[in-house]
Amino acid sequence: MDELIYTLKQQIIEALNLEDMKPEDIDENATLFGEGLGLDSIDALELIVMMEKNYGIKLQDPTQGKEIFKSVAVMADFIAKNRTK
Amino acid sequence: MTKPILITGTGVVSAIGCGKEQTLDALLNNRTGVGPLVYLKTEHKEFPVGEVKMSDYEMRKYLNINNDTITTRTALMGMIALDEALKEAKITSEMLPNVGFISGTTVGGMDMSEQFYLDYVNNDNHKEYIAVHDCGSCSEMTAKHFGKFAFITTLSTACSSAANAIILGANMIRRGEADIVVVGGSECITKFHLNGFNSLMILDTQWCRPFDATRAGLNLGEGAAYLVLESEESAKKRGVKAQAILSSYGNACDAFHQTASSPDGEGAFRAMKEALELADIQPDKIDYINAHGTGTPNNDLSESQAVKRLFGDNVPPMSSTKQFTGHTTSASGSIEAVFCILALQNGFLPVNLNWSQPMDDGIVPVHQAVKKELKHILCNAFGFGGNDSSLLISKDMRHETTRHETEGQESHVTGPEVSRPLFVLSAKQISVQQPLSEDWMTQPIEYQTPFNRSIDPSFKEYIPPIEARRMGKILKRAIATSKEAIKASGLESVDAIITGTGYGCIENTEFFLESLSKEGEQMLSPTYFMQSTHNTISSLVAIQTKNHGYNVTYAHKGISFDSALQDAVLQMRLGKINSALVGGHDELTPTFYQILKKGGMMGLDDEMCGESAVSVVLGSKSDNYLCKLVNFKMLHKPTMEQLKAVAADFKADHILTGISGNHKSDVAYLEECKELFSGAKLLKYKHLFGESFTSSGIGFYVAAQCLKAGRIPAHLFVNPQETIDNKPSNILIFNHSDGDNYSLTLLEA
């Protein structure tokens, strides 16, 4: 799981163009949206694309993202359970 | 004195029919044109769409255009609608040199670019389509089918483009600058924006349900519609009747988010309120609102809030017609304006089809057929980036004499006034010269390479990093120059933000086209798509400067900046605004440079190509300014006689030309200058700043800074022997684009 979390952080940085950040800067338990990293609805859509590309997970409803993208840890857990690649 | 704007002809084509007869029949009989995808070649068969029920081939046949002529679907639909509008208004091709044409589109020739993109990059196949990628080409292609118009320009504010074209035309008539202007928009469905809207997850896989609790997104549509706007005197002289009256209009910016509307519908509220105020009409006089009503959860809630704020508990009957046509994006403003005119003429309320459950906090739309006499209708069109517009269309009641009945048809803006100078308060640039500085006057950077990218400053002090990370370079440059220009103007804020761009955010467009062509129609980035619309620049500047004022974008080839300037001057002279931020922004990537070169669009002979971002602030009053703007004029394919007549009003000691190293165009430039402005000293700037679609903005900046400095650097003179003269009193910026479109801007110290 730790490896997945680290890879995931790298993928989030790339997908969201968080140029000045390193994986170590992201607390996997901190909230990604709102107060945490300050991400918005377009970032959520980019994360949906990223999950489909890298893990073969297809979300049909953008509002599902709200639960899944709570934190990196929650995301990693969801990916581990649902990945198809 | 009142100046009603008459609508003397209309034409429309959409999924519910070709022409007004079929359209009216469908509207009265609740017959939708939305259904399974037939004509567009895409993998996304799951999305219902509102296609015009003709292939490109059938449209060509209908229009009698042979198969060798280069066309795009957007232009073909435009021609179908324009033909009907001109015929109804009894406008013949001989009259066109006195008629203006203003069209709205965002897609332009993307239907061809998305098919041939890899050819453009890799070989010479289909290279003849490169020149019709941009929005302006599309308008010109549409117009050319009928003859030569007096002037042409293109509005590109995403889904409110056509509505804003209508507003510009109306302002030109109010100001007495034209008697007849044909206005509207056209847009075909493309794989590009079908996939783009899909990446934003706002497409419904079922028939859309605006204002319904279960609404889950929009269906894309396509079509075109044009309205002939005419002054009362002209219509009387020609003996043509008004179909309806354009009583007023409003334009405001939501300044909230690039793809979402604010929860309280601020932009929409302001646009509708402005329309009511300009017509001096009470909210209870509105008989019907044709909603933007796309069917996305966000739009319908936001629009409901805006309407409730304005009308309180007495919201007029309201419906969306997007279930009939799908969302016809850039064309929706004029297509739905035609629906409103049909409703006025035939006394009925279009039904909000496919509605059953009221949404929380939403309006309850018209869901059953209602026959009713209508006098005043509001027609809404909102675009990405919060470019919100509202039109007030009224029944022609000029023969009815009581004040009560004619309410709403009197404009509070009077006719032409004496032109007073406007002040250029500030001008800032980022280009291939030192950014945000006037170092080029004393230490110009000289380039030997044919294509050069901008020298960028650090953007950190202008844009917070979290917001900057998704922005393409063109957006950062636009924001930085805008903020610097506003600061230097001494104003706290500007009344309007008006932007010109030939190609918009071409880098993100390129990324999106490339992934679409190479990786297919899956998993495309929403960021690339949302930045590919031309109005992203203007709306982001509004978001960054928290500006809710008038906000539009022009995308018409080499006169994009000039068109923006024209609008600013027009509105300042109408007294609608006292200041404006006018921008001209274009970027160029190595790939697009090669493509445009292949298409013969730039980089010919010794031409150096660059990128440019220019922001200027105009004000009507100032004691501290760079120079005065004393006269401005745009012309489309003028004859030498027409040019000579205009040049007489633009006498100047110095002419800033756009000679660029393109031999053919330079020779034409210099010969025209000799004939038009004999004795004046000729200047150049593109050898330093390069050629770009909005380089006339750089020309404006250069002239303004020279007048402020009280000297013209030696390296700007075409003839080096002429450099003795100092303290220039005036400079005429003489711009022409492809030998077709001309602009003259006279600046004075």
Residues B715-744: tens digit of each pLDDT: 999 998 887 667 899 999 999 888 899 999
Q: Tokens 């021609």 correspond to what residue?
A: B79
Q: B585 forms bridges with which residues in the sheet?
A: B613
| Mean pLDDT score across all residues of chain B | 95
Q: Which of residues 408-427 of B touch A (CB under 8 A)?
A: none
Give the tens place of pLDDT for each residue, B136-185.
999 999 999 999 999 999 999 999 999 999 999 999 999 999 999 999 99
Count of A-B CB contacts under 8 Å? 37
- Distance (Å) from the alpha carbon of A69 to chain B's nearest alpha carbon: 16
Among candidates B226, B268, B246, which has minimal Cα distance to B11? B226
Distances (CA, A) of B1 to B236, B281, B642: 17, 18, 31
Query: Closest-CA residue in chain B for A13?
Result: B469
Among candidates B383, B393, B408, which has minimal Cα distance to B299? B383
Contact check, Cβ <8 Å, A38/B465? no
Judged by a CB distance cut-off of 8 A, whether residue A74 touches chain B is no
Contact check, Cβ <8 Å, A18/B200? no
| Mean pLDDT score across all residues of chain A | 89
pLDDT confidence band for A61 (50 / 70 / 90): confident
Give the tens place of pLDDT for each residue, B641-688.
999 999 999 999 999 999 999 999 999 999 999 999 999 999 999 999
Position B72 pLDDT exceeds 70? yes
Give the tens place of pLDDT for each residue, B592-611.
999 999 999 999 999 999 99
Q: What is the pLDDT of residue B720?
A: 86
Q: Which of residues 5-44 of A touch B (CB under 8 A)?
A: 16-20, 37-38, 40-42
Separation CA B233–CA B224 (nearest Å): 28
Position B376 pLDDT exceeds 70? yes
Judged by a CB distance cut-off of 8 A, whether residue B371 touches chain A is no
Judged by a CB distance cut-off of 8 A, whether residue B259 touches chain A is yes
Q: What is the pLDDT of residue B331?
A: 98
Q: What is the pLDDT of residue A64?
A: 84
Position A43 pLDDT exceeds 50? yes
- Distance (Å) from the alpha carbon of B428 to chain A's nearest alpha carbon: 28
Contact check, Cβ <8 Å, A49/B258? no
Separation CA B546–CA B472 (nearest Å): 20
Domains (range + CATH), chain B: 5-406 (3.40.47.10), 422-748 (3.40.47.10)
Chain B contact probe: residue of A42, A48, A52, A66 with most B CBs at under 10 A: A42
Q: What is the pLDDT of residue A85?
A: 84
The lowest-confidence range among B268-277, B451-460, B515-524, B553-562 is B515-524
Sign of CA dihedral B519, B522, B524, B530: positive
Q: Is B34 exposed, middle or buried (0-12, 13-18, 19+ CB in 10 A)?
A: buried
Give the tens place of pLDDT for each residue, B196-226.
999 999 999 999 999 999 999 999 999 999 9
Question: Which residues of B are less than 8 Å from A19 in CB distance?
Answer: 465, 469
Chain A contact probe: residue of B466, B515, B531 with most A CBs at under 10 A: B466
Position B321 pLDDT exceeds 80? yes
CB B324 within 8 Å of CB B52: no
Judged by a CB distance cut-off of 8 A, whether residue B460 touches chain A is no
Q: Which two tokens stand for residue B555?
A: 């995308």
Coil/strand/helix, residue B725? coil
Among candidates B673, B676, B680, which has minimal Cα distance to B647? B676
Separation CA A54–CA B333 (nearest Å): 40
Separation CA B154–CA B185 (nearest Å): 9
Q: What is the pLDDT of residue B2?
A: 53
Q: Is B402 exposed, middle or buried (0-12, 13-18, 19+ CB in 10 A)?
A: exposed
Give the closest of B201, B465, B466 to A45, CB-based. B201
Q: Which two tokens stand for residue B717?
A: 């003179």
Q: How far is CA B666 from the centre of its chain?
A: 29
Contact check, Cβ <8 Å, A20/B526? no
What's the average model confidence in pLDDT over B479-498?
97
Contact check, Cβ <8 Å, B469/A16? yes
Separation CA B557–CA B190 (nearest Å): 21
- Distance (Å) from the alpha carbon of A57 to chain B's nearest alpha carbon: 11
Query: Closest-CA residue in chain A for B260?
Result: A41
Separation CA B518–CA B308 (nearest Å): 47
pLDDT confidence band for B411 (50 / 70 / 90): very low
The lowest-confidence range among B333-347, B517-531, B543-557 is B517-531
Judged by a CB distance cut-off of 8 A, whether residue B520 touches chain A is no
User: What backbone torsions phi and psi does residue B19 show, to the nearest 5 degrees?
Assistant: 100, 165
Which residues, 6+ apart, have CB-to-CB distance to B493 below 8 Å? B486, B545, B547, B549
- Distance (Å) from the alpha carbon of B523 to chain A's nearest alpha carbon: 5
Domains (range + CATH), chain A: 2-82 (1.10.1200.10)
What's the average model confidence in pLDDT over B11-24?
98
Q: What is the pLDDT of residue B410?
A: 47
Coil/strand/helix, residue B616? strand
Q: Which two tokens stand for residue B276?
A: 């009511």
Separation CA B141–CA B401 (nearest Å): 44
pLDDT confidence band for A33 (50 / 70 / 90): confident
The lowest-confidence range among B283-287, B373-377, B498-502, B678-682 is B678-682
Judged by a CB distance cut-off of 8 A, whether residue B530 touches chain A is yes
Burial track B323-334 (b if 16+ CB lie within 10 A, e otherwise): bbbbbbbbbbbb
The lowest-confidence range among B61-65, B231-235, B680-684, B722-726 is B722-726
Which residues, 6+ apart, have CB-to-CB distance to B12 below 8 Å? B19, B20, B23, B81, B84, B223, B224, B225, B334, B335, B338
User: What backbone torsions phi and psi does residue B560 show, to the nearest 5 degrees?
Assistant: -65, -50
Q: What is the pLDDT of residue A60?
A: 79
Position B418 pLDDT exceeds 60? no
- Distance (Å) from the alpha carbon of B665 to chain A's nearest alpha carbon: 42
Separation CA B631–CA B650 (nearest Å): 7
Give me the amino acid identity at A2. Answer: D
